[in-house]
A and B are shown apart, each in its own frame.
Chain A
Amino acid sequence: MLFQTTAEHEQLRAKIRAFAEEEIKPIAFSLDQENRFPDEAVKKLGEMGLMGIPYPKEYGGAGLDILSYAIAVEELARIDGGSGVILSAHVSLGSFPIFAYGNEEQKQKYLVPLAKGEKIAAFGLTEPNAGSDAGGTETTALDKGDYYLLNGGKIFITNAPKADTYVVFAVTTPDIGTRGISAFIVEKGWEGFEFGDHYDKLGIRSSTTAELIFNDVKVPKENLLGKEGEGFKIAMSTLDGGRIGIAAQALGIAQGAYEQALDYAKERVQFGKPIAAQQGISFKLADMATKLRCARFLVYSAAELKEAHSSYSMEAAMAKMYASDIALEVTNDAVQIFGGTGFLKGMDVERMYRDAKITTIYEGTNEIQRVVIASHIIGRMKKSSGGGGSRSAAKKPAPITGVRKGKIFKEGGAKERVEALAEALKKDGHDFTVGIPVDTPIAQAERVVSAGKGIGSRENMKLIEDLAKAAGAAIGSSRPVAETLKYVPLNRYVGMSGQKFKGNLYIACGISGAIQHLKGIKDASAIVAINKNGNAPIFKNCDYGIVGDVAEILPLLTEALGTGEKQPAPPMVKMKRPPVPKPEPIGKSYVCGGCGYEYIPEIGDEDAEIAPGTLFEKLPEDWVCPECAEGKEQFIEA
């Protein structure tokens, strides 16, 4: 056993190396400088049949092995790290889930053009609150019968917006953590699917990276990948394979930098001989070469294990972690060998030094790789109860004010939106021909118009006063408006530490919605939010909302509610709020015939290391009742 690649592998390497040196190397500097995607080169890669290397020929692929694919990424990255990740993200992140989990129709429709290189793929998992921990995914896909309604967003998505086909992960069953995540195939161009800005990155600048924004995107039922709830499994197995691609990319970047440094060290003469002949530099080169050989064996071995369908998760993590760690070291040494020259723009090693950094971060940070490796060698340790445990059981915090309608008026201009709001309030039964004095104590007020810091200068309190009169409401405020700005007396601020509002209508003007404030209005029958920041928490806690400047919206609302004299309001009748819908059980509970213990899937069985969310059917065969040790067969449906 010589641990060598085959002749076919080396032929493929030669072919891709030639392509990279001829097609990419001349433009690599300008791609980097201009943050530009190599459209032409990617197109040619497709024509050469390299965009679907590891996929069967019947699906448009090249029918080669995983090692061939790793070599292709390595060779592209050897010239340009960005080009390497274009291929890696396309093949192992975007296309793999469709190949591995797609049904025949999905493969024909999506995998074939991807493998042929006619289209580009991307993978959307990361979110602001869900990176290493996919359980924090907040993008939702609501089952609407014929389709899923996708809402939310993804960040740092490689190949976006160039890619045509996106595998996107979204929550289909809330509150059960990773088991509630499903995978979908989403096409560019669908209504409501937009992109944020192309990020301006430190390195791999020829690869494009953007934000995905989903706003009521209708995803047809047939675009669900695998089954509902399998998303996390799909994501994790995809990332296992993706690590081989990133490991190969890191290896390629380091290899390129090493070769540059070796050549330079042989040319650059100091003290009368090439610096390569100086022991200090020669030792550096020896270390670099050794690290590269180590990394290469790890990467190729993981690729071969995957090809052989052996377990490769730990080995891929080791390869990714090690190759990227040494890529930083090797590119750093390369710049060092180049000296001041290497610090200049236009030098390949300068670009490679920057390109290398991302490889220790994406597709699982190297810290996460160590978690993966450690979990394989140490096993799953018992989790401490409470705090720091699995978040899959942790319930997502509900909006502080409970279940709200969350209707944000977006249609039309400011006037139309305000009129729609006034209409909605009247329809709900708020009678604006009657009113209460503006100085009614908050706790007894049926309605309150409340000012936040967003109200601006003191003159704008006139707008609040006018609106309060028109709405037949008392005046309240957020804490800073009373305490710091002193626009209203201290006994009129609403919040946990201040007055609690329990009436029927709360109109929050320029209030962002700090937790303390929201707790003070959780019993309000209706909450209206007016704020220019659409992302303010108040909008997640309101029944009706208008995103807009208070200076524009408040006078319009005042007019819409009527400026005439108000009749004194009769005693308040508290308006009903809709009942809080309860989450559906995730599966059936079962009762033990030996003692009456009930197994509830949402809770699991911590002592037996059964994770919360484990269905009874999925319990191991040797699981027994934690109370009386009867076997599974003694349980009946509750």
Chain B
Amino acid sequence: MYCVRKVTDDLYWVGANDHRLHLFENIHPIPQGVSYNAYLLMDQETVLFDTVDWSAYRQLAENLDYLLGDRPLDWLVINHMEPDHAASVEQILLRYPDVKVISSEKAFMLMRQFGFHPDLHECITVAEGDTHCFGDHTVTFVAAPMVHWPEAMVTFDTTNGVLFAADAFGSFIALDGKLFADEVDFDRDWIDEARRYLTNIVGKYGPHIQLLLKKASGILDQIKFICPLHGPVWRENLGYFVEKYDKWSRYEPEEQGVLIAYASMYGNTESAAQALAARLCEKGCSNVAVYDVSNTHVSYLISEAFKYSHIVLASVTYNLGIYPVMHNFLMDMKALNMQNRTFALIENGSWACKSGDLMQKFIDEEMKNMTVLNDRLSIASSMGPDKSLELDALADAIIDSMKEV
């Protein structure tokens, strides 16, 4: 059965929802699913903006059949070649032998690398600032390198103010009937997954998101709709989401608060982490989130790290090193270019306590613009009441450093 929704006038959402995929990019869990958004413009000529994942092709085909009826598909615009949007390109090319393709030079190269055959069709290679008219609608192409692949571009329809934003402004969670962000309680139900999507997928490329935001800021008043490739379409309160993107891509925290991530083998380090959380709350700092790194997927930790201003890492020493899962979290933060946070460390070790020094060294030498508070809590096996004063000192140091900001 076809499943389409009208975005505005002659523009339709023709994408699909996916609840079957467990791991997005085969790495990030998506318990609430994800949508693959493709859009069909029924102008004097018909235009498909991007496609869907291979698993959703049948839905896309049904949607196109329904809307096009007897009309041919005249144009295929590819903003982003990553297979979750572009895996169906070859099928579209086969299904519509006369379809003409518009994309960037690098995207055409990627199409060939993925084994597609755009060269059997008329191809128009576009670059920054090029325009194309489909009848009533004229679109402008804007390069968006590294958001989140080098070939990416966004397309702005100057006629109806629609921005086809590619991976920018996307989110996890399947749409399940809703299409617009104003049809859901975004700030309550979606923001965490939107953050987890952005920070884990495009987090590394903050400077390039900033570049894109700068380009967009020039035409912000003309943008009426943001149509991303995942998640809901934005037609109201665009500034809310733009502001979030600005913060994430500048690596600025959203909130003054503390993420406590602990790595504990037998519960002793966990106990210290919980004790610290309680002290913080007792002292008035209740915006605290506590996670066990061993049973929390790192994408959630990354998302929380982008959210909060302060990060406490509590790790046991393991084989004279950092506990592997904690080490993995650190390496992921580094890979995603995480910056501008204040860290506090809790280390545990029963005979040679190394994790604190090693975590400090990693943060100091491998990451950018990080502050590590001096008040490290060092535990030998388990924390006794004799450490109460030090625990207080650590909590105070965290709260003091918030005031300094």
Residues in A lying within 8 Å of B, measured CB to CB: 571, 573-574, 576-580, 582, 591-596, 628, 634, 636-638
Contacts of A573 in B (CB 8 A): 389-390, 393
Given contacts A576-B374, A579-B374, contact A636 B208 (CB under 8 A): yes
Q: Which of A574, A578, A595, A628 contacts B393 (CB 8 A)?
A: A574
Contacts of A580 in B (CB 8 A): 364
Contacts of A637 in B (CB 8 A): 207
Given contacts A594-B145, A628-B150, contact A574 B208 (CB under 8 A): no
B375 CB within 8 Å of chain A: yes
Q: Mark B341-379, 1 if CB is under 8 A from A, else 0.
A: 000000000000000000000001000000111110000
A634 touches B375 (CB 8 A): no
Q: Which of A576, A582, A591 contacts B208 (CB 8 A)?
A: A591
B207 touches A636 (CB 8 A): yes
Closest CB of chain A to B180's CB: distance in Å?
32
Query: For the complex, what is the distance from the CA of A55 to the CA of B373, rounded to whole Å?
Result: 58
Query: For the complex, what is the distance from the CA of A574 to the CA of B387, rounded to whole Å?
Result: 10
Range of interface residues on chain B?
A: 10 to 19
Query: For the complex, what is the distance from the CA of A593 to the CA of B146, rounded to whole Å?
Result: 6
Q: A-B pairs with the 8 shortest C-beta distances?
A: A593-B145, A594-B150, A591-B207, A573-B389, A638-B207, A596-B146, A577-B374, A576-B374
Which residue of chain B is the closest to A596 with respect to CB atoms?
B146
Query: For the complex, what is the distance from the CA of A596 to the CA of B397, rounded to whole Å?
Result: 36
B390 touches A636 (CB 8 A): no
Contacts of B208 in A (CB 8 A): 591, 593, 596, 636
B204 CB within 8 Å of chain A: yes
Contacts of B393 in A (CB 8 A): 573-574, 576
B386 CB within 8 Å of chain A: yes
Given contacts A573-B389, A638-B207, contact A595 B374 (CB under 8 A): no
Contacts of A578 in B (CB 8 A): 374
Closest CB of chain B to A442's CB: distance in Å?
16
Query: For the complex, what is the distance from the CA of A378 to the CA of B243, rounded to whole Å?
Result: 56
Contacts of A628 in B (CB 8 A): 150
Which residue of chain B is the closest to A637 with respect to CB atoms?
B207
A596 touches B390 (CB 8 A): no
Contacts of B374 in A (CB 8 A): 576-579
Which residue of chain B is the closest to A592 with respect to CB atoms?
B146
Query: For the complex, what is the distance from the CA of A571 to the CA of B207, rounded to whole Å?
Result: 49
Which residue of chain A is the closest to B148 with respect to CB atoms?
A596
Closest CB of chain B to A106's CB: distance in Å?
38
B371 touches A579 (CB 8 A): yes
A634 touches B207 (CB 8 A): no
Query: For the complex, what is the distance from the CA of A595 to the CA of B150, rounded to whole Å?
Result: 6
Closest CB of chain B to A496's CB: distance in Å?
14
B205 CB within 8 Å of chain A: yes
Given contacts A574-B393, A576-B397, A592-B146, 10 further A-B contacts (CB under 8 A): A571-B389, A573-B389, A573-B393, A579-B371, A580-B364, A591-B146, A591-B207, A628-B150, A634-B145, A637-B207
Q: Mark B237-279, 1 if CB is under 8 A from A, else 0.
A: 0000000000000000000000000000000000000000000
Query: For the complex, what is the distance from the CA of A638 to the CA of B374, rounded to whole Å?
Result: 28
B383 CB within 8 Å of chain A: no
Closest CB of chain A to B99's CB: distance in Å?
28
Contacts of B390 in A (CB 8 A): 573-574
Q: Mark B139-157, 1 if CB is under 8 A from A, else 0.
A: 0000001100010000000
Closest CB of chain A to B389's CB: distance in Å?
5
8 Å CB contacts to A: which residues of B152-206? 204-205
B331 CB within 8 Å of chain A: no
Contacts of B204 in A (CB 8 A): 596
Which residue of chain B is the closest to A634 with respect to CB atoms?
B145
Identify 25 residue pairs between A and B in the complex whose beta-carbon atoms are under 8 Å apart, listed by A's number: A571-B386, A571-B389, A573-B389, A573-B393, A574-B375, A574-B390, A574-B393, A576-B374, A578-B374, A579-B371, A579-B374, A580-B364, A591-B146, A591-B207, A592-B146, A593-B145, A593-B150, A593-B208, A594-B146, A596-B146, A596-B208, A628-B150, A634-B145, A636-B208, A636-B211
Closest CB of chain A to B382's CB: distance in Å?
17
Closest CB of chain B to A278's CB: distance in Å?
72
A573, A574, A628: residue with the most chain B Cβ atoms closer than 10 Å: A574
Query: For the complex, what is the distance from the CA of A573 to the CA of B391, rounded to whole Å?
Result: 10
Query: For the complex, what is the distance from the CA of A576 to the CA of B393, rounded to whole Å?
Result: 9
Which residue of chain A is the closest to B143 with respect to CB atoms?
A593
Contacts of A638 in B (CB 8 A): 207
Closest CB of chain B to A163's CB: distance in Å?
44
Closest CB of chain B to A90's CB: distance in Å?
47
Query: For the complex, what is the distance from the CA of A435 to the CA of B207, rounded to whole Å?
Result: 55
Closest CB of chain A to B373's CB: distance in Å?
8
Query: For the complex, what is the distance from the CA of A574 to the CA of B397, rounded to whole Å?
Result: 13
Closest CB of chain A to B402's CB: distance in Å?
16
Query: For the complex, what is the distance from the CA of A418 to the CA of B121, rounded to whole Å?
Result: 89
Closest CB of chain A to B247's CB: distance in Å?
17
Query: For the complex, what is the distance from the CA of A577 to the CA of B386, rounded to whole Å?
Result: 21
Closest CB of chain A to B169's CB: distance in Å?
20
Which residue of chain A is the closest to B210 with respect to CB atoms?
A636
Contacts of B146 in A (CB 8 A): 591-596
Closest CB of chain B to A503's CB: distance in Å?
13
Contacts of A636 in B (CB 8 A): 207-208, 211
Contacts of A579 in B (CB 8 A): 371-374
Query: For the complex, what is the distance from the CA of A638 to the CA of B204, rounded to whole Å?
Result: 11
Query: For the complex, what is the distance from the CA of A628 to the CA of B106, rounded to whole Å?
Result: 12
A577, A582, A628: residue with the most chain B Cβ atoms closer than 10 Å: A582
Contacts of B372 in A (CB 8 A): 579
A578, A582, A591: residue with the most chain B Cβ atoms closer than 10 Å: A591
Contacts of B364 in A (CB 8 A): 580, 582
Which residue of chain A is the closest to B370 with respect to CB atoms?
A582
B145, B208, B389: residue with the most chain A Cβ atoms closer than 10 Å: B145
B372, B374, B389, B397: residue with the most chain A Cβ atoms closer than 10 Å: B374
Which residue of chain A is the closest to B211 with respect to CB atoms?
A636
Query: For the complex, what is the distance from the CA of A637 to the CA of B210, rounded to whole Å?
Result: 10
Which residue of chain A is the closest to B376 with respect to CB atoms?
A574
8 Å CB contacts to A: which residues of B270-291? none
Closest CB of chain B to A47's CB: distance in Å?
61
Contacts of A592 in B (CB 8 A): 146
Contacts of A574 in B (CB 8 A): 375, 390, 393
Query: For the complex, what is the distance from the CA of A574 to the CA of B393, rounded to whole Å?
Result: 9
Closest CB of chain A to B150's CB: distance in Å?
5
Query: For the complex, what is the distance from the CA of A591 to the CA of B210, rounded to whole Å?
Result: 12
Closest CB of chain A to B348's CB: distance in Å?
16
Closest CB of chain B to A200's CB: distance in Å?
48
Query: For the complex, what is the distance from the CA of A637 to the CA of B145, rounded to whole Å?
Result: 14
Closest CB of chain B to A594's CB: distance in Å?
5
Query: For the complex, what is the distance from the CA of A576 to the CA of B374, rounded to whole Å?
Result: 7
Contacts of B371 in A (CB 8 A): 579
8 Å CB contacts to A: which residues of B206-232? 207-208, 211
Q: Which of B145, B207, B375 contacts A576 (CB 8 A)?
A: B375
Closest CB of chain B to A573's CB: distance in Å?
5
B205 touches A596 (CB 8 A): yes
Query: For the complex, what is the distance from the CA of A591 to the CA of B390, rounded to whole Å?
Result: 42
Closest CB of chain A to B133's CB: distance in Å?
28
B207, B373, B375, B389: residue with the most chain A Cβ atoms closer than 10 Å: B207
Query: For the complex, what is the distance from the CA of A574 to the CA of B394, rounded to whole Å?
Result: 11
Query: For the complex, what is the distance from the CA of A582 to the CA of B373, rounded to whole Å?
Result: 13
Query: For the complex, what is the distance from the CA of A592 to the CA of B211, rounded to whole Å?
Result: 12
Query: For the complex, what is the distance from the CA of A593 to the CA of B373, rounded to whole Å?
Result: 35
Closest CB of chain A to B376's CB: distance in Å?
9
Closest CB of chain A to B208's CB: distance in Å?
7
